[in-house]
Amino acid sequence: MSTWLQGRGASPGVAVAPAFVVAPRERPDELPDAHDGDARRERRRLDEALEQAERDLRDIAEAMTTAADEGQGAIFEAHAEFVADPELASLAREAIDKGTSAEKAVRDAFDEFSGLLAASADEYLAARAADLDDARDRVVDILTGAGPAPVPTRRCVVVATDLTPSDTARLPTELIAGIACEQGSSVSHAAIIARSIGIPAVVGTSGLLETVAADTLVGVDGSTGEVVADPDEEARRDLDERAADERERRRRLASLKGEEGRTSDGRRVEVAANLNGPDAVDPAVEEGAEGSGLVRTEFLFQDRSEAPDVDLQVEQYQTILRAFPNHRVVVRTMDIGADKPLPFVDRDPEQNPALGVRGLRLGLVMPDLLRDQLRALLRARAGLRDAARLAIMFPMVSVPGELTDARRMLEEVAGEEDADLDGVEVGAMIEVPAAALAARRLAREADFLSVGTNDLLQYLFAADRLLADVAGLPDPLVPEVLGLLDRVVADAHAEGAWIGVCGEAAADPVHAAAFVGLGVDELSMSAASILEIKDLLRRVDAGRLRKAVEAAIAAPDAGRARTCVEEAIPAP
């Protein structure tokens, strides 16, 4: 019998498939350095773990191939080959003979191999380094007793409490029809990933894990935020109709792909894509993105035991820059810390990581990391004169002095590289309330500002962006928030800087309309929303939205502010 649950829609679309439940995994924080002196026993542990991992991987590969998913099968077959590699085993055994624990020996051996692959000039081989990391984790998990991280072997709806970036990294996206999370908000990672690969997602669904067991048939509607467990015939029909409507809507929007973002009265507003990695490039081009307003470069740093070297970064940046000739690509420097920790950065744990050394703060205390990234960006640009226009953006700026320091670092690196900074725009994200207040001074030092509403709202409302219980609090349509943003936009323009919005709010039609009324020059969002926002722009009149936003700022509450903006949006 159908059980309907109500969550929050986080990525549009409808999917029905059996549930794949991602259970929280227990992992020891640190691996033991040394074994207890019995090297023979330790070698046996190693051999058994490698054998078990290989067996598991071959079973998965076979199951996938039987399910006619040969591409996925081949990936797991390749993982099995890695695990069975005699050179790798002998490297690990040598370390065990010197006293190293099996856990550490096998991890180091894998990392040595993966470092070699990652440095390869061959794009395909370099991408295999991530597969090697996956295989490594499987063996280490067997040794520590954590058990291998399960992965789906057929098309499914992923059901979880919430998904971490590494959960999402290890899930084969081709098999994921939809995502449903008990926790999380529309700006948590599961939601962002779902939008970037264009699959439906619902978050903040209380009671989800009590209702849905592994393999239960689940339907998700990412527009209404509904999840249905075990749908009966009537519910199935209902979901099929919704899916057909969604296909029709997307077909109608597809005609806007080649159009530029412009309001009905001719105001140009660029509609760009947020890119979470090279995989997001094709969907963004496919949806008609006008460049990128936010390349989240964390993908290069996460799930690695060492910092990525400059050559690898150059290659990855070039892949992205090449995809958008004649457009601007805003690459944000590594925004690590808080909900995006960096495995190879050895820093004391912080009690409040969201308020700690993250984003540009981390780049300034670990300058070698940031300098390498800036160097890679300049080299990537130098090698590709005709590709996209490079813009460099610094995250989590709190005070103008940080931007001054970052700019100086960029100039120094440019000097060392003999690189010309002419034409490279430099900008700051507005994510911290203090930065919003200091927008005028920041804009004096910047070519552009970009409002990160995900973090700015989290900090303005003191509401953790990952916590479903407080997800209802942050609202860009609160009159005082609109008033603050109005000032930020005016401050940017007064200093000749352009201003965009790259938080998830840019993808919400009512919020986006409000931002247009405030006068922003660019909206950057997940690929899945680009056509919808282009469609919105051609329906609205910027002059009328300006008046609506002025009324919204003077409104007595957020509800009435919303009405002011909604009334200025003609129906499709």
Task: List the structure tokens of 165.
Answer: 């970036």
Nearer to Mg ion, 452 or 474 (CB): 452
Cβ-proximal residue to ligand PEP, closest one? 452
Dist. CA 193–CA 409, nearest whole Å: 32
Site for ligand PEP contains 11 (CB under 6 A): no
**Residue 502, binding choice from ligand PEP, Mg ion, none, Cβ under 5 to 8 Å by partner class:** ligand PEP
Which one among 296, 328, 544, 562 touches ligand PEP, defined by CB under 6 A?
A: 296
Cα 446 from Cα 430, distance rounded (Å): 12
Q: Taking Cα atoms as reference points, which of 427, 420, 412 lies closest to residue 497?
A: 427
Closest distance of CB 421 from ligand PEP, Å: 25
Give the active site residue among 156, 502, 511, 564: 502
Q: In the numeric block, which tokens belong to residue 97?
A: 């003979």
Quote the CA–CA distance of 508 and 317 in Å, as a whole number: 28
Among Mg ion, ligand PEP, none, partner that 503 touches (CB below 5 to 8 angstroms by kind): ligand PEP
- Rounded least distance, CB 501 to ligand PEP, Å: 8
Measured distance CA(174)–CA(152) in Å, rounded: 10
For residue 234, the tally of other CB atoms under 10 A from its CB is: 9
Contact between 464 and Mg ion per CB under 5 A: no
Pick 221 or 335: Cβ nearer ligand PEP: 335
Q: How far is the CB of 40 from Mg ion (least distance, A)?
A: 51
| Lookup result for tokens 């940080």 | 402
Q: Residue 398's Cα: distance from chain center in Å?
A: 22
Part in contact with ligand PEP (CB under 6 A); list of ranges 38-46, 242-250, 404-412, 447-455: 447-455
The shares of helix, strand and coil residues in the chain, as percent rounded to the nearest 5, are 50, 15, 35
Distance CA 143, CA 168 (A): 23
Q: Which residue's CB is nearer to Mg ion, number 56 or number 455?
A: 455
Measured N-to-C along each axis, helices 102-118 and 39-66 cross at an angle, to the nearest 10 degrees, of: 50
What residues from 286 to 345 belong to the interface with Mg ion (CB under 5 A)?
A: none
Among Mg ion, ligand PEP, none, partner that 211 touches (CB below 5 to 8 angstroms by kind): none
Site for ligand PEP in 483-522 (CB under 6 A): 502-503
Q: At what angle do helices 102-118 and 123-144 cross, to 10 degrees?
A: 170
HEC sequence for 247-310? HHHHHHHHHHCCCCCECCCCCECEEEEEECCHHHHHHHHHCCCCCEEEEEHHHHCCCCCCCCCH
Q: Is 259 helix (H, G, I), strand (E, B) or coil?
A: coil
Tokens of 571: 């129906």
Backbone angles phi, psi at 245, to 5 degrees: -60, -40
Q: x/- binding map, residues 316-355, to ligand PEP, per CB under 6 A?
A: -------------------x--------------------
Q: Does 455 bind Mg ion (CB under 5 A)?
A: yes
Smallest gap from residue 456 Cβ to Mg ion (A): 8
d(CA 548, CA 541): 11
Q: Is 358 in the site for ligand PEP (CB under 6 A)?
A: no
How do beta strands 156-160 and 176-181 pair?
A: parallel
**Cα dihedral 557/562/563/566 (nearest 10):** 170
Shortest distance, CB of residue 231 to ligand PEP, whole angstroms? 33
Shorter beta-carbon distance to Mg ion: residue 1 or 462: 462
Distance (Å, whole) CA 240 – CA 244: 6
Residues 6+ apart with CB under 8 A from 151: 60, 170, 171, 172
| 455 touches ligand PEP (CB under 6 A) | yes
Contact with Mg ion (CB under 5 A): which of 184, 427, 452, 476? Answer: 452
H/E run at residue 529: none
Closest CA to 278 of 295, 294, 290, 293: 295
Please state the closest distance from residue 296 (CB atom) to ligand PEP, in A. 5
Amino acid at site 322 = R
For position 431 contacting ligand PEP by CB under 6 A, the verdict is: yes
Among 294, 330, 357, 392, binds ligand PEP (CB under 6 A): 294
Q: Please tell me the distance from the alpha carbon of residue 331 to that of residue 553, in angstroms, as a whole number.
A: 32
- Taking the complex as a whole, the smallest distance from the CB of residue 423 to ligand PEP amounts, in Å, to 24
Residue from 186, 196, 453, 526 binding ligand PEP (CB under 6 A):
453
Residue 20 or 515: the one with the smaller Cβ distance to Mg ion is 515
Q: Is 189 a catalytic residue?
A: yes
> Out of ligand PEP, Mg ion, none, which partner does residue 231 contact, by CB within 5 to 8 A per kind?
none
Label residue 464 left, alpha or beta by phi (over 0 means left) and psi (-120 to 50 means alpha): beta
Which residues inside 398-417 make contact with ligand PEP, applying CB under 6 A? Answer: none
CB of 431 to ligand PEP, least distance (A): 5
Contact range with ligand PEP by CB under 6 A, out of 8-16, 69-77, 451-459, 488-496: 451-459
Q: What sections of 366-497 are H helices per DSSP? A: 367-382, 400-417, 433-437, 439-445, 453-461, 479-494
Cβ at position 452, least distance to Mg ion in Å: 4
**Which of ligand PEP, Mg ion, none interacts with 296 (beta carbon under 5 to 8 A by kind)?**
ligand PEP
Size of site (CB under 6 A) for ligand PEP: 10
Q: By C-beta, is 175 or 501 nearer to ligand PEP?
A: 501
Chain contacts with Mg ion (rule: CB under 5 A)? 431, 452, 455
Residues belonging to the active site: 189, 502
Chain contacts with ligand PEP (rule: CB under 6 A)? 294, 296, 335, 431, 452-455, 502-503
